[in-house]
Structure 1
Amino acid sequence: MSNSRWAFLICIAFLFFCKPISADLNPSEIPPKFLNFAKKAEIFDWMVGIRRKIHENPELGYQEFETSNLIKQELEKMGISYKHPVAGTGLLGFIGSGQPPFVAIRADMDALALQEMVESDYKSKNDGKMHACGHDGHVTMLLGAARILQEHRNLLKGTVVLVFQPAEEGGGGARKMIEAGSLDDVQAIFGLHNDPLLPLGQVACRPGPLAAGSGIFEAEISGKGGHAAIPQQAIDPILAASNVVVSLQQLVSRESDPLDSLVLTVAKFRGGGAFNVIPDSVTIGGTFRAFSVKSLRYLKQRIEEVIVGQAAVQRCNATVAFDTEEMPMYPPTVNDKELHKHFQRVAGDMLGTANVTDYNPVMGAEDFSFYQELIPGYFFILGTRDKAAQEQPALLHSPYFSFNEDALPVGAALHASLAVRYLLESRAGSPTDNGHRHDEL
């Protein structure tokens, strides 16, 4: 057979097996089709390569320069338009008609200040920095979703906005992205987080509160230093601070409704440098968490009153500071109830309803909540645990954490499916609910 004949047959086979999904496909068939596409060896290997490049070069919040460059390069290769910089190191990508309705899917880019203890060919090259929360996987899955969407642009009935966000780990990057206009005209937004304890192939979700809001506080309690042998000539700030810590615990145990989950933790206590010297001052600090803005505000007010009041009982002065520009207070993460139904349909079509499980709220915080204050948003949990593994995997924020790359196709396909199905099911021209807020749950 001639070479031209072979070339013709190869082209026909390529068109047959790789043809795009038909625009008149039943919406319920889209998620499994997208998952099969993401599992192709070419797509999977490409995502693994990206994830490992990002993992090798972890960058802290607002320092994600190389990560941003890698994302830009990949978007350019796919022919996807983007806006950069946004909020410093962030990016926005755009796929579809460029017209309403607009739906967003988001990934966080920053790493943690940890020394990696996992030995691999792609171990972190940056001392003291590590992707110990799986954000390298999050970025990769969003890029994977971008590739799926770009390959199936014929299904898009509107525009998908890709939100690559800096500084989730305490820096409030979502708030900066909002201030830069990332949610302009966007009707809804979806995000995810990996969970090494949830089995691979499963997702967990819930409507309403998913994660707590949180704030930080720091107080300086000042007394009068002196010799440990003659405490009557000093004013002991260590004693005052100790009483403050005990009294703060009573805000949860004696002032809050037992059915309203609150956590207050004093995690820093610093003062003195010698065993026989009473110091002039002591610094304490910690976090407070709740599932409603009302409870957060109450805790904030009472923390200051207790610290100042208890310090005064011990003849000390106290100053209290809350939050900073670098570490703002995070509101609670509250999932929209209608988007919850949407997620259940899409995830069920992809993974089977038995693999779409309920999720218990956690007291950890997630700055995806800033997006949800403005528009309907939905945040879900992606299982990454190897079902065959006998030992419990290392948890998030551990120097031994390892992201399961077999989850990449699932997360990418879910992102893409949620966006496509949202656009298909939305009424074109539906206004964005800019007054959508969760002041109280």
Structure 2
Amino acid sequence: MSYLYLVVIIWAAMVTPTRTESEQLSSLTQELLNSAREPQFFEWLKRVRRRVHEYPELAFEEFNTSELIRSELDSLGIEYRWPVAKTGIVASVGSGVEPWFGLRADMDALPIQELVEWEHKSKHKGKMHACGHDVHTTMLLGAAKLLQYRRHKLKGTVKLVFQPAEEGYGGAYHMLKEGGFHKFQGIFGLHISPAMPTGEIGSRPGPILAAAGRFIAIIKGKGGHAALPQHTRDPVVAVSSAILALQQIISRETDPLVARVISLGFIETGQALNVIPETVRFGGTLRSMTTEGFIYLQQRIKEIIETQAVVHRCSATIDFMEEKMRPYPAVVNDEVLYEHVKRVGESLLGEPNVHLVPMAMGAEDFSFYSEKMAAAFFSIGTKNETIEAVNRLHSPYLVIDEDVLPIGAALHAAVAISYLDNNAVETQ
């Protein structure tokens, strides 16, 4: 037997399994997508989504949403732990043995009045699923059904994480704090993107969303009549100087190639035109693509506000609201898990429909999971040119193309099943 012949045999043995794995993945993804698109399944998905959408609930108030999810899980025969972080649920599908892989959906709505007129608009005044968490919840329930059908074939355990309070209150932090996540080897999450066409997904390896926090500051001086400023210590002038100085942190202290943002959102003070007020209250947000950058911004915001207050003979207090609205770390995608989801997405939707997207300065509490375990966070498109809609989140006019529901359900399930298949061999 010649040396060249041996090389050919070895090469063929090496490439054949890869081709087989690709074929197996393609078969799995298409089977899951076809199942989720069956008329009865799809109608169920739409009914669930519309029920959640009609009764939106704010952070840590998702009692009815949680009850609906538990009812669906009960009907599927899926066991779960509840309550976790007040209204959250962690369900289990599979053998119970490791590896454990997590799929996460958030449940809370926003304090926004829905202005879209349709049969299933919000029935709770001043509340709306304007960020798509009703869609996230429904896609994960769809994945639960797909996984339960295949539970005896799972080579490990899929954990379904229905999480409260993503919108500013760090529900993920509280879920992790209550425990039960230490055996997770990885976790995957989806977020709708109304700017991306339905049937497309996108993400990137490494940092993708910013660390973010809030602050409220009060500068106190001495009030008095506007005609006698010499008898006052004007906090309005102090705040004006502080606000201008804060912007110089970005323009003069930050590398132009490094992403950081400070944005002031409000200023509150007196109302009389001829009176210098005693205090001014103001605040905003700070964002950075790194934890180190975020800590630096906090330090400099505090120094600048306090110093500007002293310069103008005033005093200042700064509250970074870390107890009530905990700052979010940056969302960082694990590169290996990102590649896994990308490969699954390409098999499910086609390679041209899986995109590398730029980093963004928005924030997501999925970041708390990415700090503790391998994590991958992807956007999934919900834009349909035939549907008139506003293509931005947190809008009272947001409209979702419900064709995304079976796609998201199938993607969730395929990512989990193939992850367990790939990692089961390593744990034996």
TM-score normalized by the length of structure 2: 0.93
- Pick closer, same or farther for the CA change 1:85–1:102 going to 2, 3 Å: same
Q: 1:29: Cα distance to partner?
A: 1.4
- Alignment gaps of 5+ in structure 1: 1-24, 432-441
Q: For 1:303-329, what per-residue CA distance to the aligned partner results, in whole angstroms no more than 9, with x for missing partners? A: 000000011111110011112322101
Matching residue of 1:307: 305
**Paired residue for 2:151, among 153, 166, 171?**
153
Matching residue of 2:418: 421
Matching residue of 2:262: 264
Matching residue of 1:373: 371
Matching residue of 2:123: 125
Q: 1:279: Cα distance to partner?
A: 0.6
The one-letter code matched in structure 2 to 1:253 is S
Q: 1:275: Cα distance to partner?
A: 0.9
Matching residue of 1:22: none
Q: 1:429: Cα distance to partner?
A: 6.9
Matching residue of 1:412: 409
Matching residue of 1:287: 285
Q: 1:128: Cα distance to partner?
A: 0.7
Aligned 8 A contact 2:208 2:333 in 1: yes
Q: 1:387: Cα distance to partner?
A: 3.9
Q: Which has the higher helix share?
A: 2
**Paired residue for 1:317, among 302, 315, 318?**
315
Q: 1:183: Cα distance to partner?
A: 1.4
- Aligned to 2:145, the other structure's residue is in SS state helix
**Paired residue for 2:394, among 397, 408, 413?**
397
Q: For 1:243-289, what per-residue CA distance to the aligned partner results, in whole angstroms no more than 9, with x for missing partners? A: 10000000000001111100001111111121111110001101000
Aligned length: 406
Aligned 8 A contact 2:216 2:320 in 1: yes
Aligned 8 A contact 1:266 1:285 in 2: yes
How far apart in 2 are the matches of 1:272 and 1:351? 57
How far apart in 2 are the matches of 1:148 and 1:131? 25
Q: For 1:32-86, what per-residue CA distance to the aligned partner results, in whole angstroms no more than 9, with x for missing partners? A: 1101100001110001000010111000000000000000000000000011100
How far apart in 1 are the matches of 2:265 and 2:333? 29
How far apart in 2 are the matches of 1:34 and 1:123? 30
Matching residue of 1:232: 230
Matching residue of 1:275: 273
- Aligned to 1:35, the other structure's residue is in SS state helix
Matching residue of 1:6: none
How far apart in 2 are the matches of 1:325 and 1:151? 42
Matching residue of 1:100: 98
**Paired residue for 1:55, among 53, 56, 73?**
53
**Residue pairs, 1:197-276, within 5 angstroms:** 197-276=195-274
Q: 1:392: Cα distance to partner?
A: 6.0
- Alignment gaps of 5+ in structure 2: 1-22
How far apart in 1 are the matches of 2:205 and 2:426? 25
Q: 1:430: Cα distance to partner?
A: 4.8
How far apart in 1 are the matches of 2:220 and 2:81? 49
How far apart in 2 are the matches of 1:387 and 1:352? 20
The one-letter code matched in structure 1 to 2:412 is H
The one-letter code matched in structure 1 to 2:423 is S
- Pick closer, same or farther for the CA change 1:89–1:420 going to 2, 3 Å: same
After superposing the two structures, state which structure 1 stretch, 366-375 or 324-333, moved more.
324-333
Aligned 8 A contact 2:186 2:374 in 1: yes
Aligned 8 A contact 1:163 1:182 in 2: no
Aligned 8 A contact 2:209 2:359 in 1: yes
Q: 1:340: Cα distance to partner?
A: 1.3
Aligned 8 A contact 1:384 1:404 in 2: yes
- Does 1:111 find its partner at 2:148? no
Matching residue of 1:169: 167
- Aligned to 2:403, the other structure's residue is in SS state helix
- Aligned to 1:85, the other structure's residue is in SS state strand
How far apart in 2 are the matches of 1:160 and 1:328? 28
How far apart in 1 are the matches of 2:396 and 2:323? 27
Matching residue of 2:194: 196
The one-letter code matched in structure 2 to 1:411 is G
Matching residue of 1:14: none
Matching residue of 2:140: 142
Q: 1:378: Cα distance to partner?
A: 0.2
Matching residue of 1:345: 343
- Pick closer, same or farther for the CA change 1:294–1:428 going to 2, 3 Å: same
Aligned 8 A contact 1:56 1:124 in 2: yes
Matching residue of 1:32: 30
How far apart in 2 are the matches of 1:156 and 1:427? 10
Matching residue of 2:383: 385
How far apart in 2 are the matches of 1:351 and 1:232? 70
Identity of aligned residues (%): 50
- Does 1:334 find its partner at 2:332? yes
How far apart in 1 are the matches of 2:416 and 2:181? 15
The one-letter code matched in structure 2 to 1:325 is E
How far apart in 2 are the matches of 1:80 and 1:88? 20
Q: For 1:1-52, what per-residue CA distance to the aligned partner results, in whole angstroms no more than 9, with x for missing partners? A: xxxxxxxxxxxxxxxxxxxxxxxx8233111110110000111000100001
